[in-house]
């Protein structure tokens, strides 16, 4: 570690790699509401935040575990779950009076096909205006068509591998080949929430 009279210790969260203070500064200057998306190893968290000098205020939020009450039986951090969580958070944000937001993806590096953009697409489809540029999001991946096709292929080639790979889906009572229709059912139940 550097030493000397001119050395200035960086902020703790910067040293830990948790906060990019330059990005944070630009959000403060914009004074707009933010949609904050965080993806963990198991879950997706989408929050709409409002800037406050004393600390950010969470206006509305959705967690991928909440999808279970709408009947979701798939994984809680795949592309479909990201979209549904973003859609749910967007609906709640609209009820709270948020119509426009800026995307805050934190320290995540934006890449083509990233799950962060599926959550943003869900929030946009719910009616919240979020500028994301020309990012392309595959509708087949949103509904889980790629998972269904892969499950069909693996089941024909190696039934044991199929049972091993999709054991959590089967345990929850969902045939992975039916994921697109299951997604549509869950989305319609989310849309029906008042």
How far apart CA 45 and CA 63 sit, in angstroms, is 5
Rg (CA), the chain: 19
Q: Has residue 5 been placed in a domain?
A: no
Please give the pLDDT value at position 1: 60
Beta carbons of 177 and 148 less than 8 angstroms apart: yes
Its pTM stands at: 0.89
Its domain, for residue 60, covers 14-191
Question: Who contacts 143 (Cβ-Cβ below 8 Å, separation ≥6)?
Answer: 80, 179, 180, 183, 184
pLDDT of residue 194: 53
pLDDT of the residue at 4: 75
Does 180 fall in a domain? Answer: yes
Would residue 186 count as lying in a domain?
yes
Provide the pLDDT for residue 17. 84
User: At 24, which helix (H) or strand (E)?
Assistant: helix 21-30
Q: What is the pLDDT of residue 44?
A: 97
Q: What confidence score (pLDDT) does residue 158 get?
A: 94
Note whether residue 3 is domain-resident: no
Q: pLDDT at position 82, please?
A: 97
Q: What contacts 147, CB < 8 A, 6 or more positions away?
A: 78, 80, 176, 179
Task: For the chain, list residues with pLDDT below 50.
Answer: none
- Residue 51 domain-assigned? yes
Residue 22 in any domain: the answer is yes
- How far apart are the C-alpha atoms of 33 and 40, rounded to whole Å? 23
State how many domains the chain has. Answer: 1
């Amino acid at each position: 570690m550097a030493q000397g009279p001119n050395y200035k210790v960086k902020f703790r969260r910067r040293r830990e790699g948790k906060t990019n203070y330059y990005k944070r500064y630009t959000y403060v200057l914009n004074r707009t509401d933010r949609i904050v998306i965080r993806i963990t190893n198991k879950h997706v968290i989408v929050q709409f935040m409002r800037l406050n000098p004393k600390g950010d205020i969470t206006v509305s939020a959705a967690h991928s575990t909440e999808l279970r009450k709408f009947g979701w039986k798939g994984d809680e951090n795949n592309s479909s779950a990201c979209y549904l969580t973003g859609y749910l958070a967007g609906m709640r944000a609209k009820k709270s009076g948020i119509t426009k937001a800026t995307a805050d993806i934190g320290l995540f590096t934006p890449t083509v096909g990233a799950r962060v953009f599926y959550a943003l697409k869900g929030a946009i489809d719910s009616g919240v205006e979020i500028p994301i540029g020309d990012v392309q999001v595959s509708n087949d991946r949103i509904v889980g068509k790629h998972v269904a096709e892969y499950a069909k292929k693996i089941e024909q080639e190696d039934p044991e591998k199929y049972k091993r790979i999709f054991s959590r889906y089967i345990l929850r009572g969902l045939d992975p080949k039916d994921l697109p229709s299951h997604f549509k059912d869950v989305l319609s139940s989310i849309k029906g929430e008042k």
